Amino acid sequence: MTLSDMIVRVLRLIGAALVVTGLALGALWWSGKPPKDLQGIWITNGYGLVVQITPFTIALHEITPVSCLPSLSLPAHLGMARRLAGYSFDVQGDDLTIGVADVLDDVRAYRVDALPDQCLHGKMAGPLETFDVFWRTFDTHYPNFALFGVDWEARRTEALEALAGSFDPQHLSDVMARSVRGLEDAHVNLLTPSGDFSPLAPAPWDRDQRAFWQVTDSYLLAERQFIETSGVRHGWLAGEIAYIGLHHMETEPPLGQPMADEAVRVVAQLSEIYASAKGVIVDLRTNSGGSDPVALTYAGLFSATDWPAGSKRTQILKGYMTAPTPVTGRGSPAPIVAPVVVLTSSETASSAEIFVMAARELDQVTVMGENTTGSLSDVMVRTLPNKWQFTLSHQVYTSVRGENFEGAGIPPDLPYAVDATGFSQGKDTMLEAALAHLSNR
């Protein structure tokens, strides 16, 4: 066989392989293509989103009555959308159901014939238009103005007067920051090139929390242990008491898996290590939250069965909420049955508060510390026409007894203030109080 014949044969083999590969990839792509009943334009109930599904793309737009801004665009492959972006789509009756990884409840959407007018006839946005998007997003979705005594209409008038004739970005940022003053909600944030702003100031000791962890760890009988895929540090305390510090409510699962699946593995590991514990201290004092499903899975470390923990509602429009969605603690196969003390502070926020709301329903759990932050809602993240971002709460959680903890926070069973002075002297007095409480059980 001549060299030229060999080259021709190799090229034919390569060509055949490319054809086979192309056919295989085409079949895989076709299998994930959105079916016709999914295709179309949908507007969510709450959440302020338009979802446009075509045979080629899945696109999300953030909308207000005066704006429509592109948010996310994905290739129209349902498997890719689920594994890489965490979205799943299904039609139930006349509605589109959107599952979002690591969010408790599905998002519902209704079909419309065309994109809203503001998506088709957008215009350049100056400071006044940018503020209008900001203001209307809050006006549509934020449920807590009355709780904080804020007259949102008056804030609009004040801001528009302040912005008249000004095109300075720093001035616009300052006006926006002033407009949300008094909304002492950890989920209200404005993120601009000049810095981030929240109307809720952190606790004075917040900057020292790493030093506090070192003091707390000095009470452990051996070097602290970490679970690398989570925010968990743990170890044994005197008296066969387990210490579990949860820094946040997120995990690092394998690609394509929800965070709650990894949380199940974390719970199984902790259950095995501390099965013989005579008591458990769960430290949430510096936990700023993360995923509600992770928090509810972690709470299941102390229950063999699922249990009701409360409910949540999402604001659809000003004054209108969705029906309540149950919030359920998730039992585990081998729970720890020993008495538990959960430590809280004013910095225990968001899904860490969901953990507290669930755990306090279990008979063996006592909550000790301070009222939590009072920001239980999921976070709505929005982008402004000038590419700045802001966040807000858009949901209301209530306990099984109908208690609303927004703003005030969840009160402890045993009040105990964070002792910053004690920490500076090398003592964790709240931890000592928890140990004393467990020794008397």
Segment 304-360, tens digit of pLDDT: 999 999 999 999 999 899 999 999 999 999 999 999 999 999 999 999 999 999 999
Do strands 241-251 and 279-283 pair parallel, antiparallel, or not at all (unpaired)? parallel
Do strands 414-415 and 365-369 pair parallel, antiparallel, or not at all (unpaired)? parallel
Residue 23 lies in a domain: no
Residues 103 and 232 both lie in one domain: no
Residue 1 has pLDDT above 50, yes or no: no
Residue 135, φ and ψ in degrees, nearest 5: -65, -45
Domain residue limits at 56: 40-120
| CATH code (residue 427) | 3.90.226.10
Contact 171, 159 (CB under 8 A): no
Per-residue model confidence (pLDDT) at position 16: 46
User: Of 120, 151, 184, which closes a domain?
Assistant: 120
Q: What is the mean pLDDT of the chain?
A: 90
Residues 218 and 103 both lie in one domain: no
242's CB contacts (< 8 A; 6+ apart) are 234, 235, 236, 273, 274, 277, 279, 280, 281, 336, 338
Kindly state the DSSP code that residue 53 receives in the 8-state scheme.
Answer: E
- Residue 220's nearest CA partner among 148, 166, 281 is 281
Residue 21 has pLDDT above 60, yes or no: no
Least confident segment among 76-90, 127-141, 170-184, 364-378: 76-90
Residue 354 lies in a domain: yes
The predicted model gives 109-131 an average pLDDT of 84
Count how many domains the chain has: 2
Buried b (16+ CB within 10 A) or exposed e, 157-179: eebeebbeeeeeeeebbebbbeb
pLDDT band at residue 94, thresholds of 50, 70 and 90? confident
- Residue 406's nearest CA partner among 372, 355, 366 is 372
Segment 233-263, tens digit of pLDDT: 999 999 999 999 999 999 999 888 899 999 9
Residues 223 and 324 both lie in one domain: yes
Residues 220 and 109 both lie in one domain: no
User: Of 97, 120, 143, which closes a domain?
Assistant: 120
Residues 327 and 426 both lie in one domain: yes
Q: Cβ of 394: how many Cβ atoms within 10 Å?
A: 25
* Long-range contacts of 191-199, Cβ-Cβ distance < 8 Å, separation of 24 or more: 191/388, 191/389, 191/390, 191/391, 192/388, 193/169, 193/388, 194/169, 194/170, 197/173
Segment 41-58, tens digit of pLDDT: 999 998 999 999 999 899
Contact 159, 135 (CB under 8 A): yes
Least confident segment among 44-58, 118-132, 403-417: 118-132
Do strands 340-344 and 365-369 pair parallel, antiparallel, or not at all (unpaired)? parallel
Write down the pTM of the prediction.
0.89
Residues 115 and 233 both lie in one domain: no
Kindly state the DSSP code that residue 95 receives in the 8-state scheme.
Answer: E
In angstroms, the Cα distances linking 329 to 110, 283, 339, 402, 405 are: 30, 18, 18, 17, 18
Q: Which residues pair with 414 in a beta bridge?
A: 368
Residue 77 has pLDDT above 80, yes or no: yes
Per-residue model confidence (pLDDT) at position 407: 94
In the chain, % of residues over pLDDT 70 = 92
The predicted model gives 409-421 an average pLDDT of 97
Residue 186 lies in a domain: no
| CATH code (residue 102) | 2.40.128
Alpha-carbon 405 to chain mean position: 17
Burial of 126 (0-12, 13-18, 19+ CB in 10 A): middle
99: left (phi > 0), else alpha (psi -120 to 50), else beta?
A: beta
Residue 15 lies in a domain: no
Query: Bigger pLDDT: 89 or 23?
Result: 89
Per-residue model confidence (pLDDT) at position 237: 97
Contact 355, 284 (CB under 8 A): yes
d(CA 52, CA 120): 13
Kindly state the DSSP code that residue 304 receives in the 8-state scheme.
Answer: S
pLDDT band at residue 23, thresholds of 50, 70 and 90? very low
Burial of 191 (0-12, 13-18, 19+ CB in 10 A): middle
Residue 133 lies in a domain: no
Residue 2 lies in a domain: no
Residue 266: how many CA atoms within 13 Å on its side-chain side? 30
The predicted model gives 217-226 an average pLDDT of 95
As given in the structure block, the two tokens for residue 391 are 């966040």
Residue 176 lies in a domain: no
Residues 229 and 374 both lie in one domain: yes
Residue 4 has pLDDT above 80, yes or no: no
Residues 216 and 328 both lie in one domain: yes
pLDDT band at residue 92, thresholds of 50, 70 and 90? confident
Rg (CA), the chain: 26
Q: At what angle do helices 152-163 and 127-141 cross, to 10 degrees?
A: 170
Do strands 307-317 and 325-329 pair parallel, antiparallel, or not at all (unpaired)? antiparallel
Residue 82 lies in a domain: yes
d(CA 312, CA 326): 7
Do strands 225-227 and 230-237 pair parallel, antiparallel, or not at all (unpaired)? antiparallel
User: Of 99, 120, 141, which closes a domain?
Assistant: 120
Q: At what angle do helices 127-141 and 169-179 cross, to 10 degrees?
A: 20
